Chain A
């Protein structure tokens, strides 16, 4: 549905996206993830045709719609906003009402239909924003951080609703997020964008469990790093377990309380690791035994 070849995009004369190759197929939900400033939104704008590519080409088969990051609803009712988007899209007047209501229903926002945009909460506005994007029935749909700025329960609720609403065998969907939980919930395929380039492309399990480069690994949560002969081994917190009897010893440098216990930061002779332990965890400064359960290695 949409293919980018060697695309570069500049903002204010600075190239912030470089050498991007990607393809979106019908029925596929692709998640684009990366840190702030990686160029995700810029790439999305270029794919949507809102920004010109300074190099490379973007081929679009069918019509592409993009829902930008800010909901930016007009000062009308929720339903009027969806109907306005349908009018811009070229949908006949007689079809707009039914399509608008169906899309609002799909996003769990049917009860908001007659509410003025100004009276919507952040989560409700995002539901309406997503509904008007879905109502268009575009061949390719690009969503820029559809869950940004929401509190955790609202975000989770919207995420699960969106995960089912975005499944459509006829449509290719690209969603920009910067949270791995969102990527897990939505993605058939994950693209990791770092410093303006696509640094990883694959199914979520592959990208998040066996990242292709140290940079991608560091971004997707491999916070531990051990220097080994000829290689560097990167580990997630779940790849490290505290075990008093283990021969590998480490010193606790910092403890941070988290929802399910305590995040334990450790230093060893050849690196530093992070693990999770039940509260209260070991004392800061204590020597503990550790077992390594996984991780990915890269040549040094």
Chain B
């Protein structure tokens, strides 16, 4: 098991000595995670509010689709996205196949149901009458939505953590849509896959360690924010 320790040491060396390739792949990973999470939030929060609070025919079916979407196999999403993005396919004109934007699109598709379903669940669990009372005091739809998101912020942060985690950890869609091109569309997770395939276990462990470190730091920051909000909601000193 020495190679595990060697891999961790290698990770430290790569970071300390400023390995250019590592910084490129870390940068790509962060960009994919940041933009796909932001896009998933921008689309998923309104969708979650609609599914959680709306009164329209098909709402339950929409919720079922969002819940099912949380378990979407990334490889299948990647395959469908790639097929749609092939030249000559319906979305081929967008020229997104084997590009970073294509990877961000695929990751957004994977994170969207997570955000929508978790947001819907969070706003549905708000105390009965809270939003109705806001309407009775003249709140507009946008104000009611803002109130719902604010009151359900612990759940919304959970959705953000889930979306971000998915973006960091996912491989299938990245490889199929992005082509796993070194220096362009390769992320830390897909780089690990390449290194393992090539038998470079030490470098794979190094990359994996860096990926885990980033996930742990960001998840810790979001979790601290989430638990701070929870304490504030419970009225306890933080």
Contact = CB atoms under 8 A, between A and B. Distances in A.
Interface in B113-163: 127-130, 132-140, 143, 147, 150-151
Contact of B128 (A70, A85, A116, A117): A70
A119 B150 contact: no
A65 B235 contact: no
Interface residues of A, number: 25
Given A72-B127, A74-B130, A88 B139 contact: yes
A50 B133 CA distance: 10
Interface string A68-111: 11101011000000001101111000000000000000000000
Given A74-B130, A74-B147, A67 B235 contact: no
B233 interface: yes
A176 to B, nearest CB: 13
A88 B233 contact: no
Q: Is the interface of A mostly helix, strand, loop or mixed?
A: mixed
A32 B39 CA distance: 50
Interface string B15-43: 00000000000000000000000000000
A123 B130 CA distance: 18
B232 interface: yes
Interface in B51-74: none
Contacts of B150: 74
Contacts of A65: 136-138
Nearest to A135: B137
B133 A72 contact: yes
A63 interface: yes
A85 B147 CA distance: 11
Contacts of A84: 134, 147
Contacts of B128: 70, 72
A295 to B, nearest CB: 42
Contacts of B132: 50, 68, 72
B234 interface: yes
A68 B234 CA distance: 23
A118 B147 contact: no
Nearest to A66: B136
Interface string A33-50: 000000000000000101
A88 B134 contact: yes
A45 to B, nearest CB: 8
Contacts of B136: 48, 50, 65-68
A90 to B, nearest CB: 7
B235 to A, nearest CB: 3
Given A74-B150, A88-B139, A118 B129 contact: no
A74 B234 CA distance: 12
Interface in A130-176: 132-133, 136
Given A70-B127, A119-B235, A50 B135 contact: yes
A85 B135 contact: no
A212 to B, nearest CB: 32
Interface string A251-279: 00000000000000000000000000000
A63 B138 contact: yes
Closest 6 CB pairs of A and B: A118-B235, A88-B139, A72-B129, A66-B136, A70-B129, A116-B235
Interface of A: 48, 50, 63, 65-70, 72, 74-75, 84-85, 87-90, 116-119, 132-133, 136
Given A72-B132, A90-B138, A117-B235, 8 more contacts: A50-B136, A63-B138, A67-B136, A70-B127, A72-B129, A74-B150, A85-B137, A116-B235
15 contacts: A48-B136, A50-B135, A66-B137, A68-B133, A68-B136, A70-B133, A72-B129, A74-B130, A74-B147, A87-B143, A88-B137, A88-B143, A90-B138, A118-B234, A132-B137
